[in-house]
Chains A and B, each alone.
Chain A
C-alpha cells in the first residue's frame, strides 16, 4: 500500500514535469516528435534509477558518517555527471543498439534537473533504499507519460493554424498549461 501510494503520487498526483516543474528543458526541447520523446524517456528512466541508487548509497554511507551532508549538492551533481559519462561508455561497448537508441540523449541528461531533483527529493523525504528506487522509477514513468502525451499534442499542433505571435514556444506552453490542468484532476486520490 505504501509503495502504491508512492507510485500513484509520483506518476499522477505530483507529476514531476507538470506539477513539480522539473525537467522542463527536455520537456519543451525534445517533444517535437513522439519517437524522440520515447527515446528521451527511456534514457531518463535508466539514468534516474541508477543515479538515485548511487546518490542514496553515497549520502547514507559517506556523507552522513563523515558529517558533511552540506556537501550534498556538490557531491550529487558530480556523481550524476560521472555516472552519465560512464553509462555512455559502457553502453557503447556492451550494447550498441541501445546506445544507438539512447546515445544522443545521454549528454543532455546531466543538466536535466529532474535527475538531480529526484535524488534530492528522495533524501528530503527520508525514503529507505527500496522506497527511493520505487520513487525514482515512478517519477521516470511520470516524466515519460507527460512527455509522450505532450509530444502527441505537439504533432497535432503543427497542423493547426496558430496566430503568428503564438507560434512555436508560446502555444506549446499554453498547451502544457492545459495538460497540467488536466493532471490537477488527480489531486487528492492518494
Chain B
C-alpha cells in the first residue's frame, strides 16, 4: 500500500472517532477543552505507535493462541510509561485527564490496530499506520474539544474571544454526546455528498 494513503486514511476516510467509532470513552470524557483533547490524543498516539512497532517486531514469536493477552501486556507497558512521564512533567494535565490515562489500555482503537494491522504488516507500514491513526484520533479529539470549548466557555485553547455568557451545557456531560452526534452527522453528510 502507498504509504501516503496509509498515513492519510486516519484523518477522514477511516477516522477512528467519526467513522470507525472506536475509543469513544476518552473522546467524550476529556474533550471539555481543546487542549485536553490534544493532550489525550497525543498520549494515545504515543502508545499506538510504540505498541504497533513492538507488535510487528515480535509477531512471529508470539503463539497465535495467546496473542491478544500478549498485545495487552505490550500496550499496558507503554501506558504505564506514559502515566509516569505525564505525572512527572505535566502534572496539571495528568490530573485533568485522570483515570482516562490508565484507561488507554482498554481503548479498542489501540488493540484494534495491533490485532488488525500491525500483526500482519511490515514495520514501516505499521509505524505509518500508528502515526496516521493516532493523528486522526488527535484531530478528532481536538476538533470536538474546540467546538465544545467555543460553545461552552467562549474560548479556544484557553484564549477568550467573548466576554458574554457561554452555553455552559456544552462543556458538561450532555454536551459531549450532543456535539459528537452532530459532528458525526455533519461528517456523514460531507462523505455522502462528495
**Chain A interface residues (CB < 8 Å from chain B):** 18-25, 28, 70-74, 77-78, 81-82, 110-113, 116-117, 120-121, 124, 165-166, 169-174, 176-178, 180-181, 184
Contacts and interface: CB of A to CB of B under 8 A. Distances in A.
B105 interface: yes
Given A21-B28, A78-B69, A177 B76 contact: no
Interface SS majority for chain A? helix
Interface in B20-42: 21, 24-26, 28-29
A71 B24 contact: no
- Range class of the B interface residue count: 35 or more
B80 interface: yes
Contact of B72 (A72, A77, A173): A77
Contacts of B178: 173-174, 177-178
B5 interface: no
A165 B191 CA distance: 10
Interface of B: 21, 24-26, 28-29, 68-69, 72-73, 76-77, 79-80, 83-84, 99, 102-103, 105-108, 111, 169, 172-178, 180-182, 184-186, 188-189, 192
Which residue among A19, A111, A113, A170 has the maximum number of chain B CB atoms within 10 Å of its CB?
A: A113
Nearest to A118: B99
A111 B108 contact: yes
B103 A117 contact: yes
B181 A77 contact: no
